[in-house]
Amino acid sequence: MIVHANDGISTAGVEKLEAHGHTVITTKVAQEQLISFLQEQKVDALIVRSATQVRKELIDACPGLLLVGRGGVGMDNIDVEYAQSKGITVVNTPAASSQSVAELVFAHLFSLVRSLQEANRNMPLDGDTKFNELKKAYGSGIELRGKTMGIVGFGRIGRAVANMAFGLGMKVVAHDPFITDGTVLFTLADGQTLRCQANMVSLEDVLHTSDFITLHVGGANTLLGAKELAFMKPGSFLINAARGGVVDETALLHALDHGPLAGAGLDVFVGEPHPAVQVLMHPAISLTPHIGAATGEAQDRIGEELADHVISFAAKK
């Protein structure tokens, strides 16, 4: 098969595909030129991340396309049902990036509770002249141990977050309309496994009782608007590494300025790749540019899992 990875694929993925006799193209092609490129190269399998759009127009124009693979969890950039109706197999890699996203959640949390996002902005500017003032300003940190972590969306990533929270000595409450079992297997470095239990509660209970809330839900619908944010615990923190649209950013800024929120961590934004300047400039927000799955380990896992999908698909043909 001819495989085109328009948004890239790890070396491990390329090597596995080539070892099974497949041709891999990794040239980045602009969206407006992609259809003609796929036609000219007679591509059988298209692999994308979040940047490339696989919509009805492309699907109709490329009848030779047999498989579309999405590196990552969400498939908002692919017309999945329409592709499947045209006989195209659509796959993703839901488990490959869980650890990386969960670790980024805690990177934001640690940054927020110790004011690292503010300190790293102001130390280069005023550290040499206002050291003692900055020390006082950032000298009232918060420990995570003993606090309550609220997880909205208890799939693979949500459970990876819970795993880390238990390791830090946190209490865990979670909400997921499709999951009632809060069991989490906590694995130690020496291979020992401990069975931990998250308390599965309503969304309202998560919002009202959690010191920290992290979102791991799909879709583009707004989950937390002004009403929901107002219901959160005073002094709490919110992390969104899921989808930009699940949080009303205007309401988020209001909740940061007027309460109840003390801080927020955002890896995803409304209007990507052009986030609102008001969000980017807010001192109580820890910011990353949609890098939840951007670790070498995750990229290797994603590439190899996509390669496995292609190899398995080809073997059945």
Give the pair of three-digit tokens for residue 128. 């040499």
- Alpha-helical segments (H) within 140-273: 156-167, 203-209, 226-230, 249-258
Ramachandran angles phi, psi of 164, nearest 5° = -70, -40
- Alpha-helical segments (H) within 50-169: 56-61, 80-85, 98-113, 116-126, 131-137, 156-167
Q: Give the closest residue to 301 by CA, choosing from 11, 53, 5.
A: 11
Q: How far is residue 163's CA from residue 49's CA, in Å, rounded to a whole number?
A: 26
**Are 87 and 64 within 8 A, CB to CB?**
no
Q: Which of 114, 208, 254, 290 is catalytic?
A: 290
243: annotated active-site residue: yes
Q: Which of 15, 103, 228, 272 is catalytic?
A: 272
Give the pair of three-digit tokens for residue 259. 């309460």
Q: Which of 216, 243, 282, 309 is catalytic?
A: 243
Ramachandran angles phi, psi of 34, nearest 5° = -70, -40
Q: Which uninterrupted H or E stretch holds 316?
A: helix 296-316
Unique residue bearing structure tokens 């990229």:
299
The distance from CA 119 to its chain's CA centroid, rounded to whole angstroms, is 25
The distance from CA 209 to its chain's CA centroid, rounded to whole angstroms, is 24
Q: Which uninterrupted H or E stretch holds 265?
A: strand 261-266
Q: In sequence order, what are the beta bridge partners of 266?
A: 240, 287
18: annotated active-site residue: no
The half-sphere exposure of 107 on its side-chain side, counting CA atoms within 13 A, is 14
Q: Give the closest residue to 67 by CA, choosing from 77, 237, 78.
A: 78
Report, as residue numbers or ranges, the catalytic residues. Answer: 243, 272, 290
